[in-house]
Amino acid sequence: MTGSTAREPGRGQPPLRRVAQAVGVVFLLVGLLGFVPGVTTDIGALRFAGHESDARLLGVFQVSVLHNLVHLLFGVAGLLLARTTSGARTFLVGGGAIYLVLWVYGLVVDHGSTANFIPVNTADNWLHLGLGVGMVLLGLLVRGAAPRHRARGGRQG
């Protein structure tokens, strides 16, 4: 509707906030899908925590109830922090750093031991590396402010 004062959701928001919101939504979806039979294979083998959980998101990524809850909480944190530009940057850079630490944890922990309480497998490790690097880069490289539009009739150089 022309002339309406209502704005489209997300329109006019700084790009960094929109990116953080999108990442938060993805984490929420992943957390929810970790509980969905068919999307998560061997759902009957889903355990609260630990390497004994044989459930696999998309048949690949080892998950547990704890793992899924962490994704859900991470998604909520992303949406809440994306309400400000500084919060969005903190979520992306800080969250990316957390995922890089989780990647290192996955490399050093014996996947068959009780220390693998999250749990993680090799596919999770690669995903955590990609998430960590991707989130940090997004947080550092995406502009925090929306681009300013030139006024009509302004001088063009």
Query: Does 152 reside within a domain?
Result: no
- pLDDT of 3 reads 43
- pLDDT of 1 reads 44
Spell out the per-residue pLDDT of the chain, length 157, in tens: 444 444 445 567 899 999 999 999 999 999 999 999 999 999 999 999 988 999 999 999 999 999 999 999 999 999 999 999 999 999 999 999 999 999 999 999 999 898 888 888 999 999 999 999 999 999 999 987 655 555 555 555 4
Query: Does 4 reside within a domain?
Result: no
CA distance 77 to 39: 24
Query: Does 2 reside within a domain?
Result: no
Query: Does 122 reside within a domain?
Result: yes
Give the CA angle between residues 122, 126, 129 to the nearest 5°.
Answer: 135
Query: Does 7 reside within a domain?
Result: no
Q: How many domains would you assign to the chain?
A: 1
Domain coverage including residue 33: 15-141
Query: Does 153 reside within a domain?
Result: no
Query: Does 113 reside within a domain?
Result: yes
Give the CA angle between residues 126, 28, 145 to the nearest 5°.
Answer: 90
Contact 20, 81 (CB under 8 A): yes
Per-position DSSP letters for 48-82, written without gaps between them: SSSTT---EETTTEE--HHHHHHHHHHHHHHHHHT
- pLDDT of 144 reads 79
Query: Does 67 reside within a domain?
Result: yes
CA distance 157 to 11: 28
Record the pTM. 0.82
Give the CA angle between residues 101, 102, 105 to the nearest 5°.
Answer: 90
